[in-house]
């Protein structure tokens, strides 16, 4: 099926002819198979903002800020909505497997596309190790006869095989993984609200209504400043929203997919993040110790309602979230490597696809580094792996900043070259773009005042500086060769 949208492939420059719309040519001009269906893209878009951190890590944020954590989620959610709108504007006009990295290459310069592409790839291969270990812990609890490292290996191998078969198999797995997460959270919100207002038959919860939002020290029990502390704790749970713009390049109608994903991001964040955390805060007092116990805040909320085997139910859902994150992480890392290879910023082999339209070398290379990171996690968890975690910790914010600056330049380029493609527009341009840049910059600066955040920002800046230096040295050498 041919695409009706211009696809900027890894080696294609804006303004040059693209034959992807001509009869008889694949919909993806870069060789990737357009194997993702609309339902795949829709569920990837919905599930992309739901990670295991929401289920497990939200209790720590609640303990740090109290009910005001809702404002933390709202602030970060607003920031993500703006960033996604900017990215949607560019992706709808020029769908690309490299997404923001390819756009940064075009708008800001080769160094920007190279740097943010490799930093993003680095982020996701570290995530592979984190999620594989998290999934292995759950599976070991169910089948203790198999060691944890073996479960991590099995999980990685299964999802690698899935990604190698075809992009359609990745989409199908992600459709069901994301579907389970979406149904679980929707059910949690509905059942929780019924219990909150005393309408759930047989519930163990007293049905206090909205009283728990203010009955234990008020809405700001830790002071208004705790909202910013909460921001630092929740900001990284939103990473992954941008995956749909990478996947759009392998869909039948990239422009339509990006439009739908961009337009739906507001209600997705409102329902899945704000809605579910609101339910937790109204079912239990914010300082209830069960919220920060091993099962997490969702398990504590389910226990308060009287749901039998709440811990095991949530373990199944968390495992699904982990597998979903692993699946998408491997896909995202491989497509970024593919795009970098096509632009000459990575080995050319990364840009090759097999007969099924799958970038096999890019996938296997990403998996190898994922396995190495898993090994570091088991061998040196508190030194080498902790360094990897911290040095990739602020990459999400760097990516969002680059998207903002890229959109400032890209708007004019699209208007000059393909004005008819500007079907998604950032609101109040350029004022909201600059406001988003200020918000992200403020979060980064505020992280420097936090002990844990300071180390993440400084180490991430160190790695970013190293990557930028490499890119600039490469550019100088290439100019000398051309001269």
Per-residue pLDDT at 24: 36
Per-residue pLDDT at 21: 36
pLDDT tens per residue, range 307-363: 888 888 888 888 888 888 888 888 889 989 999 999 889 999 998 888 888 899 999
pLDDT tens per residue, range 208-218: 889 999 989 99
Q: Exposure of 217 by Cβ count < 10 A (0-12 exposed, 13-18 middle, 19+ buried)?
A: middle
Per-residue pLDDT at 294: 65
CB-based contact 251:96 (threshold 8 Å): no
- Cα separation, 355 vs 248, in Å, equals 20
Per-residue pLDDT at 94: 87
In the chain, which residues have pLDDT < 50? Answer: 1-27, 29
Per-residue pLDDT at 26: 41
Sign of the alpha-carbon dihedral angle for 189, 190, 195, 201: negative
Sign of the alpha-carbon dihedral angle for 300, 302, 308, 309: negative
Per-residue pLDDT at 382: 83
Sign of the alpha-carbon dihedral angle for 55, 56, 59, 61: negative
pLDDT tens per residue, range 75-99: 999 999 999 999 999 988 888 878 8
């Amino acid at each position: 099926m041919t695409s009706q949208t211009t696809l900027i492939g890894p080696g294609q420059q804006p303004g040059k002819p693209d034959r992807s719309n001509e009869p008889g040519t694949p919909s993806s001009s870069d060789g990737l198979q357009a194997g993702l269906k609309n339902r795949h893209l829709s569920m990837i878009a919905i599930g992309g903002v739901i990670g295991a951190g929401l289920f497990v890590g939200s209790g720590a944020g609640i303990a740090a800020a109290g009910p005001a954590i809702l404002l933390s989620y709202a602030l970060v959610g607003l920031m993500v909505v703006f960033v996604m709108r900017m990215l949607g504007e560019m992706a709808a006009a020029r769908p690309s497997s490299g997404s923001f990295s390819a756009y940064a290459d075009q708008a800001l310069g080769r160094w920007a596309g190279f740097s943010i592409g490799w930093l993003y790839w680095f982020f996701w291969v570290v995530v592979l190790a984190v999620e594989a270990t998290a999934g292995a812990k759950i599976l070991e609890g169910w089948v203790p006869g198999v060691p944890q490292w073996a479960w991590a290996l099995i999980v990685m191998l299964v999802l690698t095989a899935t990604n190698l078969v075809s992009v359609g198999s990745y989409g199908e797995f992600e459709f069901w993984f994301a579907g389970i997460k979406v149904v679980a959270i929707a059910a949690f919100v509905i059942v929780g609200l019924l219990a909150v207002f005393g309408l759930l038959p047989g519930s163990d919860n007293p049905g206090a209504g909205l009283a728990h939002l203010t009955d234990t020290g008020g809405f700001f029990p830790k002071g208004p400043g705790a909202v910013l502390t909460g921001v630092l704790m929740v900001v990284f749970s939103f990473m992954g929203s941008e995956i749909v713009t990478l996947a759009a390049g392998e869909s039948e109608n990239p422009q339509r997919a990006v439009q739908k994903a961009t337009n739906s991001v507001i209600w997705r964040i409102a329902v899945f993040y704000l809605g579910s955390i609101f339910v937790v805060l109204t079912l239990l007092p914010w300082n209830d110790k069960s919220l920060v116990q091993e099962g997490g805040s969702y398990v504590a909320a389910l226990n308060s309602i009287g749901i039998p085997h709440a811990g095991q139910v949530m373990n199944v859902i968390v495992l699904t979230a982990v597998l979903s994150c692993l699946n998408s992480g491997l896909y995202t890392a491989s497509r970024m490597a593919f795009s970098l290879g096509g632009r000459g910023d990575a080995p050319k082999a990364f840009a090759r696809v097999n007969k099924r339209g799958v970038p096999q070398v890019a996938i296997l290379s990403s998996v190898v580094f994922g396995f190495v990171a898993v090994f570091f996690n088991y061998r040196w968890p508190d030194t080498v792996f902790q360094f990897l975690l911290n040095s990739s910790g602020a990459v999400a914010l760097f990516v969002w900043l680059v998207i903002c600056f890229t959109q400032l330049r890209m708007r004019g380029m699209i208007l000059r070259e393909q004005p008819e493609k500007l079907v998604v527009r950032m609101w109040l341009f350029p004022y909201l773009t600059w406001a988003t840049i200020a918000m992200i910059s403020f979060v980064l600066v505020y992280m420097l005042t936090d002990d844990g955040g300071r180390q993440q920002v400084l180490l991430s800046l160190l790695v970013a500086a190293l990557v930028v230096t490499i890119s600039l040295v490469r550019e100088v050498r290439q100019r000398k060769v051309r001269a």
